[in-house]
Amino acid sequence: MRSDDCLAEPARADCAPCLPDIIEPGLSILFCGINPGMRAVATGHHFDGRGNRFWRVLHRAGFTPEEFRPENDRELLQHGFGLTTAVSRATARADELSRAEIQAAAAQFERKVQHYAPRFIAFLGKMALAEMSGKRDIQWGLQSSQCGGACAWVLPNPSGLNRAFSLDALVSAYRELRIAAQISSVVD
């Protein structure tokens, strides 16, 4: 069994350690990291890296009433949000993934998005969407084409290794998605 077959399942003896998705049908937003970090897989909780700013950004952008800790990641479902990764293999850094590995995960990833039907799929960084779609001119924000039937949105990666974006810049970018998702839910 390939490790990317474990996307929504807990670690088992017949596959590499996996980080289970936090997902259910009909979410407002499904946040998609490139792949899990080693610490996240070890603890079983998304964005558990010491320098990752995801939880702080999510709270400051208005997605959560308080700043969640990684061990409370499942509580996102109560707010209409979920978590997944484009590739299930854990690495210390996303640049350890090959382009071919990300491209190979595309079909299964799209089927997952179609099955769970979130309104938005929010890619954290351009890398995964660029490799899965074959497009190189990815812009920040709402994309012109959907992914698995969901509106695709690209946000800056909150990794502590991504110093191109300050905390304030991350919060501003994430807030734009939150507002668009709220408007979208009123229109529907």
Token digits of residue 34: 């490139």
pLDDT tops 70 at residue 179: yes
Position 13 pLDDT exceeds 50: no
Contact criterion met (CB below 8 Å) for 74 and 44: no
3-state secondary structure 33-90: ECCCEHHHHHHCCCCCCCCCCHHHHHHHCCCCCCCCCHHHHHHHHHHCEEEEECCCCC
Task: Tokens for 66, please give them.
Answer: 């308080």
pLDDT at 62 over 80: yes
Its pTM stands at 0.89
Predicted pLDDT at 32? 97
CATH hierarchy code of domain 7-187: 3.40.470.10
Q: Where do the structural domains in the chain lie, given as residue ranges? A: 7-187
